[in-house]
Chain A
């Protein structure tokens, strides 16, 4: 699976949009971009995934650049409960494929 690079930490203001970048310059054509988050002392939670089109769900939006070498996770209106470590993972969407976690971005939402 391709490696990803994320900033180690970022702060954002409650109620504002949080934009979390991820670089995956060695991504292969059949690899998807997945985002998970982990709130302190809990198991990771799936947020969203995409291949090349932008995606949106009730939690977030995922913007993937045209060359697919980077992406941005957008939390449209950050709340205090969004404070967590966010992981960007790229992998083949094959059945039973393991997830390889990098360092992630520690996001602190401040009031």
Chain B
């Protein structure tokens, strides 16, 4: 079964609103989660690394004030797209590293954001 969930799976919002996307590890703890976005017919682009209990690390060119990341617990990270615009429409995917001897990483199913 799925080990990483994302909510919502899809969302449509009006331009100017904020949207929160959740990423949860279902049966293991994770101090590190990664957020990616993917535009149509393109590859995944890493946006930021989410660290539990500390500030996220953003990739070059990603606005930290626009894409707010909160990793408040060992099983949950949230990505908030603030003041969303149509160009933010994309597929957002989280990737979670398992915090035990398995050292595995799992992807969530993704969240499709459409900004009108």
Contacts and interface: CB of A to CB of B under 8 A. Distances in A.
Interface residues of B: mostly helix, strand, loop or mixed?
strand
Given A95-B103, A99-B34, A43 B43 contact: no
B49 interface: yes
Interface in B68-116: 91, 93, 95, 97, 103-110, 112
A87 B38 CA distance: 14
- Name, among B44, B97, B112, the residue most crowded by chain A CB atoms within 10 Å (CB to CB): B44
B103 to A, nearest CB: 6
Contact of B110 (A41, A95, A102): A41
A37 to B, nearest CB: 11
Contact of B95 (A38, A99, A103): A99
Interface residues of A, number: 19
Contacts of A43: 4, 6, 93, 107-110
B54 to A, nearest CB: 13
B56 interface: no
Interface residues of B, number: 24
A44 B112 contact: no
Nearest to B57: A98
Interface of A: 36, 38, 41-46, 87, 93, 95-96, 98-104
Given A46-B104, A103-B43, 7 more contacts: A46-B105, A46-B106, A87-B43, A93-B103, A99-B105, A101-B36, A104-B43
CB-based closest 3 A-B pairs: A43-B107, A96-B32, A101-B44
25 contacts: A36-B107, A43-B4, A43-B6, A43-B93, A43-B108, A43-B109, A43-B110, A44-B44, A44-B95, A44-B107, A45-B107, A46-B104, A46-B106, A46-B107, A96-B31, A96-B32, A96-B49, A96-B97, A98-B34, A98-B49, A99-B46, A101-B36, A101-B45, A102-B43, A104-B43
